[in-house]
Amino acid sequence: MTIEQLSASRAHGGVQGVYRHASAATGTDMVFSVFVPDHAPDARLPVVWYLSGLTCTHANVTEKGEFRATCAELGLIFVAPDTSPRGDGVADDPGYDLGQGAGFYVDAVRAPWAPHFAMRTYIETELPALVAAHFPADMARQSIMGHSMGGHGALTIGLRNPGRFRAVSAFAPIVAPSQVPWGQKALSAYLGDDRAAWRAHDAVALIEDGARLPELLVDQGMDDAFLGEQLRPELLAAACADAGIPLTLRRHIGYDHSYYFISTLMADQLRWHGARLAGAAGPEGVGPEGVGPEGVGQGAG
C-alpha cells in the first residue's frame, strides 16, 4: 500500500498534502488530500472524512472548504477523497450526474460501470487502510461528513457502519436518492432496476429498514436551487422522527448549495464532530451567525 505525494503545503500549523495511489478497488489511480495538524511525535489523531458532491474532486473542499484552522485547533486529521475513478478507459457519461465525478459511493454491478466504479469498497475499506498505514490516525476515533452527493455518501456509510463513526453529519445531502431524479438515474445505471438493491444506498430507506445512529446533524440552505426536487430533507426528518433518531436539521435562510454555504458552516460542524471525537457532549443549539436555537436562520445571508 504505497502512496505518492503530489504536493505538501504548510498551513495553519499543519501540513496539507495531496496524494496518489494505485487503487485495487477501482483499478485506477486515485487522488486524495489529507490535512495533518502539528502533533507530538507519538500522537494519534482523530480522523474526519469528508465526501464531496457531484462534479467535484478532492480539490474542491481542499481549496474552498476553510477547514484547516479549526482542524489545527482541535487536532483533527481531515481526509478528502475523490468522487469517482477517472482516466483513460474509465466509463463516462455526457451528463454531469453520472460517470466520472458522480460515483454516488456505490459498487456498480452493471456495464459499463462495474470494472471501475467501486466507490463503496474504496471509501469503506481500501482508503481507510491506506490512511491508517501512512498517517498518524487514530482509527478508533473517526467521523464522517459530506456535501450533496457526498452527504448521501456520509449518511449511508455512517448508517451501514454504526460502530465505526462517532459523528455523522452532512451539508445539503441527497437523503433519499431512490425518490429523486439524481439518485434514480445513478442507482438504476450502476445497480440495475431492482429497487430493493437500492435501499442499502438510501439513507431514508436504511432507517426505515432498521439502521440506527445515536444522532445526526444536517445543515441546509433555504435558497438551494436543488432543495425541493433533489435533496428533500423533510423525508429524512420524518424517517428519523419515526425511528427515534435525534436529528438536528438546521435551515439557513439566504444560503445556496455552493462552497460559500459549506465554508460558512464548516467550522461549526467540525466543532460538533470534535466534541464527539473527544468523547464529550457538545453544546446544544449553537450555530453560526444567523442561526437561532431552533436551527432556523434568522434573516442571515
148 is catalytic: yes
Structural domains counted in the chain = 1
In a domain, 299, yes or no: no
Contact present, 232 and 179 (Cβ < 8 Å)? yes
In a domain, 292, yes or no: no
Q: C-alpha grid cell for residue 286? A: 449553537
Q: Which of 58, 201, 257, 273 is catalytic?
A: 257
- The upper half-sphere exposure of residue 152, i.e. CA atoms within 13 Å in the direction of its Cβ, equals 33
Show Cβ contacts of residue 29 under 8 Å, excluding neighbours closer than 6 positions. Answer: 20, 21, 22, 23, 87
End-to-end CA distance of the chain: 45
Supply the pTM of this predicted model: 0.92
Q: C-alpha grid cell for residue 246? A: 435525534
**Positions of the chain with pLDDT lower than 70, given as ranges:** 279-301
In a domain, 83, yes or no: yes
CATH number for the domain including 112?
Answer: 3.40.50.1820
In a domain, 19, yes or no: yes
In a domain, 57, yes or no: yes
In a domain, 295, yes or no: no
Chain centroid, CA 196 distance in Å? 24
Contact present, 136 and 43 (Cβ < 8 Å)? yes
Q: Which helix (H) or strand (E) holds 44?
A: none
pLDDT on residue 1: 80
Burial 228-243 (b: 16+ CB within 10 A, else e): eebbbbebbbbbbeee
257 is catalytic: yes
Owner of C-alpha cell 498505514:
133
The pairing of strands 137-146 and 45-51 is parallel
Domain containing residue 237: 4-277
58 is catalytic: no
Hey, which residues does 118 pair with through a beta bridge? 107
Q: Which of 224, 252, 268, 273 is catalytic?
A: 224
pLDDT on residue 279: 53
249-266 confidence digits (pLDDT tens):
999 999 999 999 999 999
In a domain, 298, yes or no: no
In a domain, 145, yes or no: yes
Q: Which of 52, 84, 143, 148 is catalytic?
A: 148
